Amino acid sequence: MLDNSILFLGTGGDSIVVGKQIRASGGIILELEGSQFVLDPGPGCLARARQADVSIRDTVAVLVSHAHTNHATEVNAVLEALSVSGLDRIGVLVCSKKVAQGDDKELPILTNRSKGFVEKVIELEPGAKIGINNVNIYTTKTQHFDSEGVGFIFETPRYRVGYTSDTEYTDEIADQYKHCSLLIINCKYPADIKGTGHLNVTDAIKLLKRIKPKYAILTHFGIKMLEVNPMYVARDVQRECQVEVAAAYDGLMVNPASFSPRMRQVTLEPFKQV
């Protein structure tokens, strides 16, 4: 990976798309000022990372926004790979409280065994800030089924990358991403579908008009979003918001310092488009 790059291992966002792997899942790899982060390791993270030639062993932190399958299910496998089953106790896990502890209904996703694989497990609520190498990481508030969930902002001296995670739209949630140069938006639904706990295209437009980042990437697509073709949607959103907008695809790599999207040299397994 280059010093500054964001790689979308997968872009699937609902149980049909992820279940059939119509779009891959597995999360996002961020390489920011030389530090590698694994964000939301969903199903297939390790396999996709291998295909994309990413060494999980180079990761400094694994971040899990909330305790849903799509975002968290491979966290144990990633920590095991990162530390070689704890032989090399390196890296930190940054996650919502529920991922590490569970709650009165759910067991934790993180196993006790995996806790011992990393240097530290950092459980964060919205509004926290930590520094890892040259990167400041802020947690943001979300409005989702998993009330303990968070979004993230990655800040370096050169740029600020926001990741909404799964959330609904409110002005308060939007305002957290002010001053983000690049905004990654989990946009599950097209404009005509309003699903609880998630953003649709209308919400994404509201968010972009309010925040005006330099560049935005839509991802985390549900089946209805794929049916209307995220690429065309991104074009319309761009026209309406006057913000550069791209629809993520599996294997998309973007440079957060220059916003230039480009194709990966490696070819991920092709997927049938619906």
Counting contacts by CB under 5 A, is residue 40 touching Zn ion?
no
The Cβ of residue 104 has, within 10 Å, a number of other Cβ atoms equal to: 4
Radius of gyration of the chain (CA): 17
Query: How many residues sit close enough to Zn ion to count as binding (CB under 5 A)?
Result: 2
197 versus 261: smaller Cβ distance to Zn ion = 197
| Contact pick of 74, 148, 166, 203 for Zn ion (by CB under 5 A) | 166
Nearest-approach distance from CB 232 to Zn ion, in angstroms: 25
Q: Tokens in use for 10?
A: 């997968």
CB of 68 to Zn ion, least distance (A): 4
For Zn ion, the binding residues in 199-258 under the rule CB under 5 A are: none
What's the min distance (Å) between Cβ of 89 and Zn ion? 30
Phi, psi of 57 (to 5 degrees): -60, -20
Residue with token string 């990167």: 135
Write down the least CB distance from residue 99 to Zn ion, Å.
12
Q: Which helix (H) or strand (E) holds 187?
A: strand 182-189
Closest distance to Zn ion from the beta carbon of 270 (Å): 27
Please tell me whether residue 68 binds Zn ion under the rule CB under 5 A. yes
Interface mask toward Zn ion for 117-156; x: CB under 5 A? ----------------------------------------
Number of continuous H segments (helices) and E segments (strands) in the chain: 10, 16
Strand positions, DSSP E, 46-85: 59-64
Can you tell me the distance from the alpha carbon of 33 to that of 247, in angstroms, rounded to the nearest whole number? 24
How far apart (Å, rounded) are the C-alpha atoms in residues 248 and 254?
10
Contact region for Zn ion (CB under 5 A) — 43-51, 81-89, 165-173, 235-243?
165-173
Q: Which residues would be at the binding site for Zn ion (CB under 5 A)?
A: 68, 166
